[in-house]
C-alpha cells in the first residue's frame, strides 16, 4: 500500500496528469512515468543486513523495480505476489514469502529516497554520503563523480544507470570551474 501511495505522490510531483474518466493506477500510470524519468527498473539495491545469509546473487543484488510499471506476467515478482494475495488471499498465501517481502521493501526503499529528494554535500573524497541512507538492511549504489567532458557533460561510468544517487559539483561550482578554465584559455 505504501508503494502505491508514494508512487502516486511522486507522479503528482513530476506533473503527471490525473485521468478524468478513471482512477490513476500506481503501476501503469505512476511507476511508468517514474520509469521514463529515472529508469527505476535499472536501479540496484544491495541486501546488506548482517543476518541475511543469502547464497545466490539474485537475493543479494536486487533490481526491485524491474518491470514494476507493467501488469500481468511481465510485472515484477513481488508486485504479482502482492496483487495475488490482495485479491485472493486464501489461494495465494504462499506467495506472501520472504523473497517477495524483501524485494517489495527494496522497491519502497528506492521510492522513499526519491520522495525525500535529499541533497548531500561532500568533501573531495566523497566519503560522507552513506550508501545505506540510514537503512539497516539495504545499501544503494552511488555513482562517484569523475568529472565532465569538454562539453560540460557529466561523465558516466558503466554502472551509472544502476545508481540511485550520483555525486557531482553543484551548478554554481561547475559554473565557476567553467569560468576559471575559459579565463585561462
Residue 92 belongs to what H/E stretch? helix 89-92
- Residue 92: pLDDT over 70: yes
Which has the higher per-residue pLDDT, 47 or 174?
47
pLDDT of residue 185: 60
Mean pLDDT of 53-74: 89
pTM of the model: 0.85
CA-CA distance, 133 to 185, in Å (whole number)? Answer: 41
What's the mean pLDDT when you consider all of the chain? 88
CA-CA distance, 23 to 178, in Å (whole number)? Answer: 48
Query: Which of the four pLDDT bands, split at 50, 70 and 90, describes residue 180?
Result: confident
Q: Which grid coordinates belong to 28? A: 501503469
* Apex 172 CA angle, 120 and 149, nearest 5: 90
- Comparing CA positions, the residue from 110, 109, 101, 25 lying closest to residue 69 is 25
pLDDT of residue 162: 96
Give the least confident one: 42-46, 48-52, 102-106: 48-52
pLDDT of residue 123: 59
Question: What count of Cα atoms within 13 Å lies in the side-chain half-sphere of residue 139?
Answer: 13
Pairing mode, strands 142-143 and 165-166: parallel
Mean pLDDT of 93-98: 94
Q: Which grid coordinates belong to 73? A: 506476467
- Residue 129: pLDDT over 90: no
Query: Which of the four pLDDT bands, split at 50, 70 and 90, describes residue 153?
Result: confident
CA-CA distance, 68 to 79, in Å (whole number)? Answer: 7
Amino acid at each position: 500500500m505504501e508503494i502505491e501511495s508514494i508512487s502516486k505522490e511522486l507522479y503528482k510531483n513530476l506533473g503527471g496528469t490525473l485521468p478524468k474518466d478513471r482512477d490513476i493506477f500506481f503501476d501503469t500510470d505512476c511507476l511508468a512515468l517514474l520509469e521514463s524519468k529515472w529508469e527505476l527498473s535499472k536501479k540496484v539495491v544491495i541486501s546488506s543486513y548482517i543476518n541475511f545469509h543469502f547464497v545466490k546473487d539474485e537475493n543479494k543484488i536486487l533490481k526491485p523495480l524491474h518491470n514494476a510499471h507493467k501488469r500481468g506476467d511481465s510485472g515484477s515478482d513481488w508486485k504479482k505476489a502482492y496483487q495475488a494475495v490482495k485479491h485472493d488471499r486464501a489461494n495465494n498465501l504462499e506467495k506472501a514469502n520472504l523473497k517477495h517481502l524483501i524485494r517489495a521493501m527494496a522497491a519502497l526503499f528506492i521510492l522513499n529516497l526519491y520522495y525525500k529528494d535529499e541533497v548531500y554535500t561532500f568533501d573531495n573524497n566523497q566519503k560522507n554520503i552513506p550508501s545505506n541512507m540510514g537503512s539497516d538492511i539495504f545499501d544503494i549504489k552511488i555513482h562517484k563523480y569523475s568529472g565532465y567532458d569538454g562539453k560540460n557533460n557529466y561523465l558516466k561510468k558503466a554502472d551509472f544507470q544502476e545508481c540511485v544517487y550520483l555525486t557531482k559539483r553543484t551548478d554554481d561550482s561547475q559554473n565557476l570551474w567553467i569560468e576559471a578554465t575559459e579565463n585561462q584559455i
